[in-house]
Structure 1
């Protein structure tokens, strides 16, 4: 077991060690460690010991109990540590410093470092403020005690700072391989500052013949620079508060102190100068004065206040207040200062208000119906007239007060407002044009801030249609009872259908999208009405599910399955469609039979699992868009899986042209949201798509209260040494191929690398495909065995998903023999009859068992509520696909809490991709409530970082 400590910038290594929770240590003679390896250098360590010698490290698994251990002094060798050159398992201390190394590299990458003069050496050191300071404290608290076992070392924070400084320095030198100045190369007689600057990137940081006077002045300047950057991370911060003017028209920037941990604990500068004390601060006046001096570089106007002996505020005019608001305040906040702005900042702004009024006559709404339309200028919820706008233009100031509200107004907004006034008049527009105006959301400089519409259009544009509409009662011909939220969903679908508009029913899996859709068809046929047939397009695996659900819940509907070699064609097809209420087909059949299907007159086209048309350029997406119908409906629990372009594609199917061209959608919404999380773009997209997307979550207790909780957990696994060696070998081999390839070949190599690394994380035999034994060679498999035993002992059932059928084939007999319980195995190579038998057995039998499933074959269309545990042993790296698989157990009919565990190998690409998954998931949910292709376009450096094996990966 190889361990390490930090000793003067070197790693000290030894064979055995222990922790240091001991009270005293011996000052006896230093003895050589009995298990030391030969080395030229050594260091004295304080190690827990017994009378016989050092206590073995707990990680070695030695069964040694020492009743009264003491700290003794042992001479331990120092040796270079190169992971590829030593066949050893890293101990906690080595893994710990690996994490510290990652932290150092991140600091260098973000520029959180500064140069300094350390006696006679040019060095780099970290700047730790804000989140970095918090991270440093966490690392210090987590330090294994053995890391500070060197006699002359002190507390954890001191040891960590020394190690971090050394690592930052070495990393910075590699990051800056070129000289920082391109002029002459200074010699020994040159100024110290010039030689110091050169040594910052030189392999040798030492400076010869340093004059004490020169060193003093250079060190003082560098230390002042460091203190100015470092001094803002304490428990008390200097605060700036912008106060809007009263009658005299003067804006004020007031100063003070505020507790970083308790924001309500603050003191004004006037109180500080008057002698008020501040908790945790020995000299509040000096803290305030020093903080204000440092802030001048970020807020130059502050220099005027500092000319006063006791500055407590700065009076500024309107332009000065605007400059503070737009420029200085963000810089101060980013640097760690406290900033308090008026409540209206970011809330009240000049924008457009849209007003529409229905035409006289019976209530009716369609995309071609005409309504009266008017666009006005507004501040908040108040409309302003031409005279007020003219006065704003005359003042030409960036902050103006309009009807008691302060508003930021720059030149671009003013020009856009003047243009809007010129165009302002009551006109007639179609409902479709009005909706497109809402989608456009005004201009970037003059956004749409309010929509005032009456009648049915008002209900639609409110975005609260589902809540405002009265629930439609369960149709009399439905063989079942709808839940309240399902009745509201039925009312929403009926409302859109009555307007001739399409929509996306994006309820969570298991909430009953199927029964709501069937209820819509039954409601349309009440009172003897016979509308044209509905065409339902779905994946082949769901045909039987729809057929059975229709027979169970809506037996009065006439269903025709258009699939297979014996399906009707030409005149026979037309007759079959006329005689049916619901025609079910697959995406592949719809593409092949497009001419015949497009000739029919459909009431509605429904796309189930509509993520199948998320790519608008695919042939099947283009095919279903060409099938004409009065309305279109998309059913999907995941309207956004990876990119917002998928939402555009599905909306283009439901309501063609409503979101505009794909390029305009990308410019206005997709790029701002995906690249910089633009809040205005998010709000605009929700306003544009909200009327046409109904999204309910199972976890929302206001939707459904009789479904238990879903408890999601991440299970962190480590690699065995064999797995680690294979992992590094794959990375070394494949990175060369990736860097020497381009285009499609490069993408293929990237995806192949990910596949191989995921196979390594599963099991060496999965990668090698050599039929070798499984036992004892995989951290994941060991954890799965332990977990499966616990689940079965509790009398429960579990679903275990893997994306690799070959791995499942290896696991099934192994687990069955180990657990001595049935382990069922469902994959794509089984017949439908065999699949049904396995599902029936799992659902019916009371015996605890494991159901091993291939993710592709069983990710949708199955009801497996007998399980209350779900395990994802390897990740598909697509949140939507994983959630669909989980929903085989977490759906209506489940009566117990469902525990979902996702296996992740720590320190590998699985951990780093998991972090990326969380960001992707947040993107999808921020707007509307496959596979790893999205990773293939990463740069070589990003891939190298993604694939790297961290020290903590190996147990």
Structure 2
């Protein structure tokens, strides 16, 4: 009681509740605006005190039914007095459950099914009465029924039925009571909302081709379910104070606050002419501004063709188109649909993101689009397309364009001899496609901006996921009629990456980044807000097309992908080095703070990963030529196991890709392979010149090279087709699963005919094993928090860091073996 002294129960509902409990009066004093909330909180608290009888095979079941008579064409007064029967039952938790009416229980004990689950000393009637008494402690209204000898139901008025559904039902359910409500309860169609109507502006029904800047006429109308309701009629219904009314053939809930929201919303947004983008943003964010729920969108003319209506998706509206006759190849059915979707957006002047899974042929779908627009130009001048990609895939684009569309004129804008200034503009005007790199867009921005582009295409569009960079700013400044993003990973870690890609495709569509974070990213990522997630999906849905290899009808002929983890021990040399580095690192970390601490952790992690790879990698040994009789591979558990795997690969006449994130480790592996197999493996890394890179890929694909291809993860993990390999080995782990998956998909993609075996090498008992376990147990958390790399580890406290890094007993190989 001392804690309540001086505190106002009128201003604080918790103080009001405690004052009522501790005081002598049999009521809780609280103002009207919080009394309902106090009551709900109290009932919920009571429900938590009552044993929900979990595990019992028989439970109480209450079923509220609609009035059966006197409601058709009834007046509000008659509706208010209508009788809602609340039936009593027992539910046997079979599969499916069995419901036994109270009337049957009083007539014959409920039949054999109840007798088989009740004990010999317990009758069905006693159980029903006991369960009703337990529920009555939560909802005293049941006391009236308990005064009957054999109660079967309780009659409720309309206002009582509404209060039961809204306030009592959730608490009873928490206490283990099954409560069945009418099917319409809780559905959007049983509440007041608003419906948006969008139609073309002006008399022309032809798509203006101006994208989200196209003018449309829009209007809002109040709706209850599918029925439009006039404002005055709704005002009249709300003022009558009947919470449930009958409209047509359904019951709907009339809340005064719903009417006030709808009325206020219509006053702020009377409708009229606006851009399509503004109207779509308003539809997506209306509820966030305190507006009513938006129950649907009606469209007509070209707007309906673009957005569909309430029964269609955008994909349903896309008309099939003929594959260009000039295309030198065959498109699969899903690729034909992708081409039609791209052409569909082009026709309306809209950008889009083709986000098909890696290896599903985004490149050839884009090439077919370039041919389609030229085949259907009908005299219109088609400007060149600028294609921006990582340097590592520029050669692949050139080869694919030459293969599938030899008639298109292609210019690769790269190298010290590339044209600049007016020479570049002249060259671009002579071409159909100009291919350049992300780095050069920023460097050559002045003259790239001077060209009027038909379209700007970003391949591996995740490169613009960091909005403030010069590179992203330069790319967004380019002027073009259309914009297309190609990426297999539209969201790797955070929703702001999706915002960045959509800001390129459809500038301004998702609003400023700060507003996007407030409205979508924070509620979805932090609070798992499913409603916001669904709303964002609906908003971007028409402009993002994503198909996965596992989708039905996409890549049904792809062979299986088999993943396995190769857990390997440390050698004694590795274990000594590992333990020394951990102890030294933890000692320094304990004495450091802030940025210095984070820097120490990150540098220590790199050293530990190098030790797990090979002692020579950590020690930076330059003279690694093995001594007579010494096998370099045997100094590391990983390299020893790698040799065993590759022996099986070679024996089966297979081919393998070996990925490592360290160039030095790649050179070390090349030396090991020369010693073990007397072969010269290919090794592609960031320093490999483009010409040499293309030559390596062609040789490996044709079979005219070593069957083992070493690649650095960043240089060889994206944009190359290496389907002649049927083994993928991740020698060291990258903690972002999307990066590893991209590397795997160099082999597991369209064109692969053999089962692809993926080997992920993990050193037992070390940092590698612990982080792999974390990723497996909480994949979604890893995507959201781990990010790209190991920076998240720097935030762990010293005890947690010690637990993650320290050696486990399984880390050391058995020397006696």
Question: Shared topology, TM-score over 0.5?
Answer: yes
Q: Is the Cα–Cα contact under 8 Å of residues 586 and 798 in structure 2 kept in the other structure? A: no
Write the distance in 2 (CA, Å) between the matches of 1:305 and 1:654. Answer: 64
Deviates more, 1:710-719 or 1:438-447: 710-719
Write the distance in 2 (CA, Å) between the matches of 1:633 and 1:297. Answer: 62
Q: Give CA deviations for 1:585-619 in whole Å, capped at 9, x if unaligned.
A: 11111111212222222111111111000111111
TM-score by length of 2: 0.77
Equivalent of 1:243, from 54, 58, 64?
64
Partner of 2:187: 347
Partner of 2:777: 915
How far does residue 673 in structure 1 lie from its aligned partner after superposition? Answer: 1.3
How far does residue 658 in structure 1 lie from its aligned partner after superposition? Answer: 1.1
Write the distance in 1 (CA, Å) between the matches of 2:488 and 2:652. Answer: 32
Deviates more, 1:526-535 or 1:291-300: 291-300
Equivalent of 1:628, from 479, 500, 508?
479
Write the distance in 1 (CA, Å) between the matches of 2:234 and 2:802. Answer: 54
Partner of 1:434: 279
Equivalent of 1:542, from 393, 401, 414?
393
Deviates more, 1:468-477 or 1:334-343: 334-343
How far does residue 394 in structure 1 lie from its aligned partner after superposition? Answer: 2.0
Deviates more, 1:285-294 or 1:744-753: 285-294
Write the distance in 1 (CA, Å) between the matches of 2:544 and 2:797. Answer: 39
Name the SS of the counterpart of 1:525 in structure 2: helix
**Residues 733, 482 of structure 1: CA spacing in aligned structure 2 closer, same or farther, 3 A cutoff?**
same
Write the distance in 2 (CA, Å) between the matches of 1:334 and 1:734. Answer: 50
Write the distance in 2 (CA, Å) between the matches of 1:361 and 1:883. Answer: 48
Partner of 1:360: 203
Equivalent of 1:256, from 90, 114, 126?
90
Partner of 2:25: none
Name the SS of the counterpart of 1:646 in structure 2: helix
**Residues 231, 791 of structure 1: CA spacing in aligned structure 2 closer, same or farther, 3 A cutoff?**
farther
Q: Is the Cα–Cα contact under 8 Å of residues 237 and 338 in structure 1 kept in the other structure? A: no
Name the SS of the counterpart of 1:482 in structure 2: coil
Q: Is the Cα–Cα contact under 8 Å of residues 586 and 802 in structure 2 kept in the other structure? A: no
Unaligned runs of 5+ in 1: 1-181, 183-224, 925-929
**Residues 507, 419 of structure 1: CA spacing in aligned structure 2 closer, same or farther, 3 A cutoff?**
same
The answer to whether structure 1 residue 682 and structure 2 residue 533 are counterparts is yes
Partner of 1:935: 792
Name the SS of the counterpart of 1:504 in structure 2: strand
How far does residue 514 in structure 1 lie from its aligned partner after superposition? Answer: 1.7
Partner of 2:307: 461
Equivalent of 2:654, from 796, 805, 808?
796
The answer to whether structure 1 residue 372 and structure 2 residue 217 are counterparts is yes
Q: Give CA deviations for 1:13-58 in whole Å, capped at 9, x if unaligned.
A: xxxxxxxxxxxxxxxxxxxxxxxxxxxxxxxxxxxxxxxxxxxxxx
Deviates more, 1:419-428 or 1:480-489: 419-428
**Residues 291, 761 of structure 1: CA spacing in aligned structure 2 closer, same or farther, 3 A cutoff?**
farther
Write the distance in 2 (CA, Å) between the matches of 1:323 and 1:952. Answer: 61
**Residues 596, 823 of structure 1: CA spacing in aligned structure 2 closer, same or farther, 3 A cutoff?**
closer
Pairs within 5 Å for 1:206-245: 232-234=53-55, 236=57, 238=59, 240-245=61-66
The answer to whether structure 1 residue 589 and structure 2 residue 440 are counterparts is yes
Write the distance in 2 (CA, Å) between the matches of 1:363 and 1:550. Answer: 33
Write the distance in 1 (CA, Å) between the matches of 2:153 and 2:568. Answer: 56
Partner of 1:858: 716
Write the distance in 1 (CA, Å) between the matches of 2:320 and 2:167. Answer: 51
Name the SS of the counterpart of 2:414 in structure 1: coil
The answer to whether structure 1 residue 657 and structure 2 residue 508 are counterparts is yes
Aligned residues: 725
The answer to whether structure 1 residue 472 and structure 2 residue 329 are counterparts is no
Partner of 2:234: 389
Name the SS of the counterpart of 1:908 in structure 2: helix
Write the distance in 2 (CA, Å) between the matches of 1:573 and 1:683. Answer: 45
Name the SS of the counterpart of 2:484 in structure 1: strand
Partner of 1:87: none
Partner of 1:573: 424
Q: Is the Cα–Cα contact under 8 Å of residues 66 and 182 in structure 2 kept in the other structure? A: no
**Residues 543, 840 of structure 1: CA spacing in aligned structure 2 closer, same or farther, 3 A cutoff?**
closer
How far does residue 323 in structure 1 lie from its aligned partner after superposition? Answer: 5.8
Partner of 2:753: 895
Pairs within 5 Å for 1:357-756: 357-358=199-200, 359-365=202-208, 366=210, 367-396=212-241, 401-407=246-252, 412-422=257-267, 427-440=272-285, 442-443=287-288, 446-462=292-308, 464-526=313-375, 529-713=380-564, 734=585, 743-752=594-603, 754-756=605-607
Write the distance in 2 (CA, Å) between the matches of 1:332 and 1:948. Answer: 49
Deviates more, 1:885-894 or 1:823-832: 823-832
How far does residue 408 in structure 1 lie from its aligned partner after superposition? Answer: 5.3
Write the distance in 2 (CA, Å) between the matches of 1:689 and 1:299. Answer: 45
Name the SS of the counterpart of 1:557 in structure 2: coil
Name the SS of the counterpart of 1:800 in structure 2: strand
Write the distance in 1 (CA, Å) between the matches of 2:372 and 2:257. Answer: 52
Write the distance in 2 (CA, Å) between the matches of 1:670 and 1:422. Answer: 29
Write the distance in 2 (CA, Å) between the matches of 1:766 and 1:270. Answer: 80
Pairs within 5 Å for 1:12-51: none
**Residues 848, 362 of structure 1: CA spacing in aligned structure 2 closer, same or farther, 3 A cutoff?**
same
**Residues 311, 662 of structure 1: CA spacing in aligned structure 2 closer, same or farther, 3 A cutoff?**
farther
RCO comparison, higher one (Cα < 8 Å, 6+): 2
Deviates more, 1:944-953 or 1:397-406: 944-953
Unaligned runs of 5+ in 2: 4-45, 69-81, 813-817
**Residues 265, 629 of structure 1: CA spacing in aligned structure 2 closer, same or farther, 3 A cutoff?**
same
**Residues 241, 360 of structure 1: CA spacing in aligned structure 2 closer, same or farther, 3 A cutoff?**
farther
Over aligned residue pairs, what C-alpha RMSD do you find?
4.2
Name the SS of the counterpart of 1:682 in structure 2: helix
Name the SS of the counterpart of 1:870 in structure 2: strand
TM-score by length of 1: 0.67
Write the distance in 2 (CA, Å) between the matches of 1:470 and 1:604. Answer: 22
Q: Is the Cα–Cα contact under 8 Å of residues 908 and 950 in structure 1 kept in the other structure? A: no
